[in-house]
Amino acid sequence: MPITRRQLLAVAAALATVPVGLGGVGWSWWGQAADVPLRHLSASEVAFFDALAEAIFPPGGTPALSGREAHVCRYIDAVLAGMAETQRDFFRLGLHALDALAWEQAGAALPDLAADPARGPEAVAEVLRGWLVSTDGNLRGLAQSLHIFVGMAFLAHPDVSPVIADQFGCGFGLSTGSTFVGHDAW
């Protein structure tokens, strides 16, 4: 399904609240190839999700699996497979807009912040906290949505769901034959 003029104008209006330096975001993601074996997310989008997941679920704890190690991008790529093309395009555009906004706010893209030994995942977490409490409803909503996506992906991981199963009376995590979208991605 192609993006209509009306949809493009709606996205442009939503992005109008972001700083002027982000004008090239709309073209930064267009046509990026998927990072094999993924079907939809590019290498830069995988790096974005790895940095975000590591900030939300740092190493240590039980189970001893960090967000990056859980490969949440595989789950998210599987979820994207179930979306219409226009939804996937807007989702990916939002990722690139946030990454460009990180440049504006912290001087580096999220993956670069996470990889910087002096700053690390805590710097990414600080940027994310700012987005989650932003007075800009569009920014806050997008950040909350991505936070939820990452949380769902992490909790559905086969090494995590059995560990947290006793927290859920519905039986989440108890089944060995999960039907979660993307469960087979691991």
CA distance 59 to 185: 21
Helix, strand, coil percentages (3-state) for the chain, rounded to 5, are 60, 0, 40
Mean pLDDT of 116-124: 88
- Structurally, the chain folds into a number of domains equal to 1
> Per residue in 123-172, pLDDT tens?
999 999 999 999 999 999 999 999 999 999 998 888 888 888 777 777 67
Closest CA to 148 of 83, 108, 107, 91: 91
Domain range for 122 is 5-185
> Per residue in 57-116, pLDDT tens?
998 878 889 999 999 999 999 999 999 999 998 888 888 888 889 888 888 888 888 888
Cβ contacts of 72 within 8 Å, gap of 6 or more: 49, 50, 53, 149, 150, 153, 154, 157
